[in-house]
Amino acid sequence: MCEEIRQQPEAIERTLSAEWPQAEKLRREFEARKIDLVILAARGTSDNAAQFGRYLLEITTGIPVSLAAPSILTLYHSDLRMKNALVVAISQSGESTDTNAVLESARGAGALTVGITNESESALARIAEHTLLVRAGREKSVAATKTYTGQLTCLYLLAYALGAPITRDQLNRLPDWTASALRLESEINTRAERYCFMKHAVCIGRGLNYANSFEFALKLMETSYVVAERFSSADLLHGPIAMLETAFPAFLFCPPGVTWKPMSEMLGKLREIGAESLVITDESNAAVDTNHKAKSAALTIPANLSASQTSNGKDLPEDLFTPIPYIIPAQLFAAKLAEVKHLDPDRPRTLNKVTQTL
């Protein structure tokens, strides 16, 4: 798992170079079509990527997005109206039976279809009209890491194809920023020791990093068997916060930009309760350290990831390019925690690499 985590800067670079022409082709193709709705279908880690895609596409293109509930098609056989929809299935293996079934129904209903997968020869790549290929190389660890960031990369390309004002130059910063995040590895190794006896935790993110809170929690569940909750700061306040208690470990994604205000309030609330926080941030959000020293610590990516750092990022949300680098410390933490707990992060109990469900 650690080895695959470290391969990510190259994997992202490879995916960007190889798939950029496809993104340009799709942009021309989509301009000619009336796309009223994007439906994203996925399971597991890929579903977390879809959750990111939902925010990315709505924020940068204005097209409403729905995350598919596969059972509506696979179990209830509903006739969903998808004629003017773009239906996108995301799957590492491309062999996820239910997301493939969604894509088949969508083609039958006249929708435009795209597959995002790591496997060019998979059933998904055959069913989808168009594909965006994740060029991460084979992923051996059951806990997905480089395919997740590869899927996020492809979702930026999809946003571009749907008209988002994102440039190739901006995306070209992603491999370096990912490499910066990897420099936190030894700091994380030290810090993970403290969490050896952690049985439960909560991961909190908002907006573009909401998906990362799900992905961090999933890594903790898969590799270290931690009962890891995940919430947006707003949803947590609507009830679940009652279960948090003193020393309840919380992990928060605190990028620059519009989500900082609610996340900062969340940090204050956690301090009030006495819950202990670990914050993932970068140098652009200097507010983190100074305001919240007590009962909280920060993993600061040694780079300034604000979108205004990219050539023409002024009109884009400041946190637009943070989700890929921000998940890296979380992946490293989950891998290290498994080790601290004397577990094997590459082979979690009960799981296989390809999951097929009804």
Using CB under 8 A, which residues numbered 148 to 177 contact a copy of itself?
Answer: none
Interacting residue with a copy of itself among 72, 196, 247, 286 (CB under 8 A): 72
Cβ pair 237, 211 in contact under 8 A: no
> Which residues have C-beta within 8 Å of that of residue 322, sequence separation ≥ 6?
208, 209, 253, 255, 256, 282, 305
Q: Does 112 bind a copy of itself (CB under 8 A)?
A: no
Among 7, 71, 189, 308, binds a copy of itself (CB under 8 A): 71
What residues contact residue 342 under an 8 Å CB cut-off, 6+ apart? none
> How many angstroms separate the CA atoms of 329 and 241, rounded?
25
DSSP bridge partners of 297: 278
Instruction: Single out the segment in contact with a copy of itself by CB under 8 A; choices: 11-19, 181-189, 199-207, 295-303.
Output: 199-207
21 vs 239, which CB is nearer to a copy of itself? 239
- Whole-number Å distance between alpha carbons of 246 and 103: 46
* 14 vs 219, beta carbon nearer a copy of itself: 219
Query: How big is the site for a copy of itself, counted in residues (CB under 8 A)?
Result: 72
Residue selected from 273, 287, 297, 340 as contacting a copy of itself according to rule CB under 8 A: 273
Q: Decide: 158 and 23 in contact? Cβ < 8 Å.
A: yes
Task: Spell 79-113 as b/e; 16+ CB within 10 A means b.
Answer: ebebeebbbbbbbbbbbbbbbbbbbbbbeeeebbb
Is 284 near a copy of itself (CB under 8 A)? no
Tell whether the torsion through CA atoms of 71, 72, 73 and 74 is positive or negative. positive
11 or 38: CB nearest a copy of itself: 38
Question: Which CB sits closer to a copy of itself, 70 or 150?
Answer: 70
The footprint of a copy of itself on residues 307-346 (CB under 8 A) is 317
And the tokens for 67?
């995350």
Summary count for the chain: helices (H), strands (E): 15, 10
Interface with a copy of itself includes 82 (CB under 8 A)?
Answer: yes
Pick the binder of a copy of itself from 98, 139, 276, 282 (CB under 8 A): 98
φ, ψ of residue 308 to 5 degrees: the values are -70, -10
| 18 is a site residue for a copy of itself (CB under 8 A) | no
Collapsing DSSP states into helix, strand and coil, what is residue 81?
coil
> Measured from the CB atom, is 16 or 307 closer to a copy of itself?
307
- Report angle CA 90, 86, 167 to the nearest 5 degrees: 75
Point out which span in 13-21, 38-46, 146-154, 157-165 binds a copy of itself (CB under 8 A). Answer: 38-46
Q: Does residue 357 touch a copy of itself according to CB under 8 A? A: yes
What element of type H or E holds 103? helix 97-108
Binding mask 211-250 for a copy of itself (x = CB under 8 A): -------x--xx--xxxxx--xxxx-xxxxxxxxx-----
**Given the rule CB under 8 A, which of 33-41, 127-135, 152-160, 292-300 is the region that contacts a copy of itself?**
33-41
DSSP-assigned beta bridge partners for residue 65: 38
- Cβ-based nearer residue to a copy of itself, 39 or 171: 39
In the complex, the smallest distance separating the C-beta of residue 175 from a copy of itself, rounded to whole angstroms, is 25
* Residue 188, CB-side half-sphere exposure with 13 Å CA sphere: 24
Q: Which of 200, 286, 311, 353 binds a copy of itself (CB under 8 A)?
A: 200
If the CB atoms of residues 18 and 351 are measured against a copy of itself, the closer one turns out to be 351
Find the binder of a copy of itself among 2, 39, 192, 198 (CB under 8 A).
39
